[in-house]
Structures are given as structure tokens and as C-alpha cells.
């Protein structure tokens, strides 16, 4: 970890993962990090106090590192900084060992100026397999070429926002009904990286612990999530009086 490293921090009693940056180090004593912008912290701001627990994560060369520490002090002028105890132990997870996991994630692929609906059917830290109906991808057919750029947009279960990742087309297979595009990721931001890696870990651990296919569990969760969204939408429409049955 070096000065300028982007960090994801989680404060005691908060589920929010806030963005910070390593500003300074006193070897063996403490680390100095930026205090996240107040507007981004919400209720988590009340968790910044001396002795409060803090979880810190960061990615370096394909490995996620993390440790738990405590807030030693903080200042708000002339700049907002947090001083945390120097970590006694830093855990790591080598993401290069992640295998592809079978999954089922509704997605959109952006090829040139065209967007195509499809499914991400397997996923790893390095890439994914995007599957679409041939009829849906006809407008982009001339752009289906090895090493052409492609963007893939999908939503992981439990997350409100969608992830957007840019990559290169590395493998293209067509049959009567479908087109399958193997994508090698080339541009992943740290926030997207962390969420993706956490999902992959859950997928691997789920199968190891339960012995059940993760893809089956995933389809069930996506179905439930979609049903909840539709119910909320129905309630909102009903409450506005726009629809009368």
C-alpha cells in the first residue's frame, strides 16, 4: 500500500462502503486517510469518532487486501483527515485464482452505437460470456470482430446500480438462434472491481459449502428481485391514480 492508494472504507455500524485515499503513513503507528465527502457519508458520518472501528479494503495487482483498524483521531480543519491505527494484520485474496462461474445475469452489450439485450452466462475476474439472440444483434453484426471494443452492462443481485465494464471481443460463436461473445475485460474501476470480486467469491463459496449449483440459486434470486420491483412499480402506479381497474 502506497501514498495515493484508493481505499474503500466501512465505518462501524454502517453498511456503506465509502471511497477514501491514503495520504500518509507513520510506520507501525498510524495511517492517515482522507475523510470521505460529507454528502457521500449520510448517516455514516456519526460513526467517525475516536476508538470507532473501521474496515479498509484496496486492490493491488489483482489482489484484494483488507484489514480492520480503529480510529485514533480525526481533524476537520484545515483539511478533513482520519488517523487510524497501523494494521496489525492485512489479509489478502488472490483474485487470479478465481475460476469462471456459471451464472445467469440479464445484461446489455454496447457494440459501437448499438445496444443489445442478452445474458451473461459465465463470469470471471478477467472476462465473461455474453449470449444474445441472433435477431437482437443483427444491427451490430458487422462489428462482431475479434479485438473490437464492447461494453457490457449488468446488475448483480442485491445491488441497486448496474455495473458497466469495457472489454474486447475475444471469441465469437454463432448458431441458428444465438450469438455468444467471449469478452476480455480491459477497463474496470476499483469500485466495480470490488463488487465483481465479492460476487465471484460468493459464487465459489456457495457451491463449495452447499454442493448446489450457484446458477440455480442465482436464477431464483433474480426472479424474486424482479418480482419485488414489479410489485413496487405496481404500488407506485396505483398510488398516483394513473391506472384505474
Task: Kindly calculate the radius of gyration of the chain based on its CA atoms and give it in whole angstroms.
Answer: 22
The mean pLDDT value of the chain amounts to: 83
Say whether 6 sits in a helix, a strand or coil. Answer: strand
Specify the higher pLDDT residue, 95 or 192.
192
Question: In angstroms, rounded to a whole number, what is the distance separating the alpha carbons of residues 193 and 10?
Answer: 16
Does 245 have pLDDT greater than 50?
Answer: no
Task: State residue 242's pLDDT score.
Answer: 52
Q: Of 128-132, 167-171, 196-200, 215-219, give the lowest mean pLDDT range.
A: 215-219
Residue 178 has pLDDT above 80, yes or no: yes
- Please compute the mean of the pLDDT values over residues 128-153 and round it to a whole number: 90
Q: Which residue has the higher pLDDT, 15 or 168?
A: 168
Burial (CB count <10 Å: 0-12, 13-18, 19+), residue 210: exposed
- Quote the CA–CA distance of 170 and 184 in Å, as a whole number: 6
Contact 9, 36 (CB under 8 A): yes
**Residue 203: predicted pLDDT:** 79
| pLDDT at site 145 | 92
**Whether pLDDT at 120 is above 80:** yes
Cα-Cα-Cα-Cα torsion 22, 26, 31, 32, nearest 10 degrees, comes to -60
Q: The cell 457490457 sits on which residue?
A: 152
Give the end-to-end CA distance of the chain in Å, rounded to a whole number: 60
The beta-strand segments (E) located in the chain are 6-11, 18-26, 30-34, 53-60, 63-75, 81-85, 91-94, 101-111, 114-123, 127-133, 149-154, 163-174, 178-187
CA pair distance 188, 170, nearest whole angstrom? 17
Residue % of the chain over a pLDDT of 70: 83
C-alpha cell at 15: 453498511
Mean pLDDT of 191-214: 76
Give the pLDDT confidence score for residue 69 in this predicted structure.
95
Q: Report the predicted TM-score, pTM, of the whole model to 2 decimal places.
A: 0.56
Residue 211 has pLDDT above 70, yes or no: no
Question: Does the pLDDT of residue 180 top 80, yes or no?
Answer: yes
- Report, as an integer, the average pLDDT of 131-135: 91
Q: From CA 196, how far away is CA 94, in angstroms rounded?
A: 14
> Has residue 12 got a pLDDT over 60?
yes
Q: What are the structural domains, with CATH classification, of the chain?
A: 6-94 (2.30.110.10), 101-207 (2.40.10.220)
pLDDT digits (tens, 9 = 90+) for 45-67: 888 999 999 999 887 765 678 89
Amino acid at each position: 500500500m502506497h501514498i495515493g492508494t484508493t481505499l474503500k472504507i466501512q465505518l462501524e455500524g454502517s453498511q456503506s462502503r465509502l471511497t477514501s485515499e491514503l495520504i500518509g503513513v507513520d510506520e507501525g503507528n498510524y495511517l492517515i486517510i482522507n475523510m470521505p465527502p460529507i454528502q457521500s457519508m449520510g448517516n455514516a458520518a456519526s460513526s467517525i469518532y475516536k476508538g470507532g472501528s473501521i474496515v479498509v479494503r484496496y486492490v493491488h495487482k489483482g489482489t484484494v487486501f483488507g484489514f480492520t483498524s480503529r480510529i485514533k483521531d480525526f481533524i476537520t480543519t484545515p483539511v478533513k483527515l482520519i488517523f487510524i491505527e497501523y494494521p496489525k494484520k492485512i489479509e489478502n485474496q488472490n483474485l487470479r485464482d478465481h475460476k469462471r462461474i456459471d451464472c445467469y445475469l440479464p445484461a446489455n452489450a454496447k457494440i459501437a452505437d448499438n445496444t443489445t439485450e442478452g445474458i451473461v452466462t459465465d463470469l470471471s475476474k478477467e472476462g465473461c460470456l455474453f449470449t444474445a439472440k441472433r435477431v437482437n444483434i443483427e444491427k451490430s453484426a458487422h462489428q462482431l470482430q475479434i479485438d473490437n471494443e464492447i461494453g457490457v452492462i449488468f446488475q448483480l443481485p442485491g445491488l441497486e446500480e448496474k455495473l458497466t465494464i469495457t472489454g474486447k471481443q475475444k471469441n465469437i460463436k454463432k448458431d441458428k438462434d444465438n450469438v455468444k461473445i467471449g469478452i476480455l475485460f480491459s477497463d474496470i474501476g476499483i469500485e466495480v472491481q470490488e463488487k465483481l470480486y465479492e460476487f465471484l467469491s460468493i459464487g465459489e463459496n456457495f457451491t463449495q459449502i452447499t454442493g448446489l449449483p450457484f446458477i440455480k440459486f442465482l436464477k431464483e434470486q433474480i426472479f424474486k428481485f424482479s418480482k419485488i420491483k414489479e410489485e413496487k412499480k405496481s404500488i407506485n402506479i396505483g398510488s398516483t391514480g394513473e391506472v384505474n381497474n
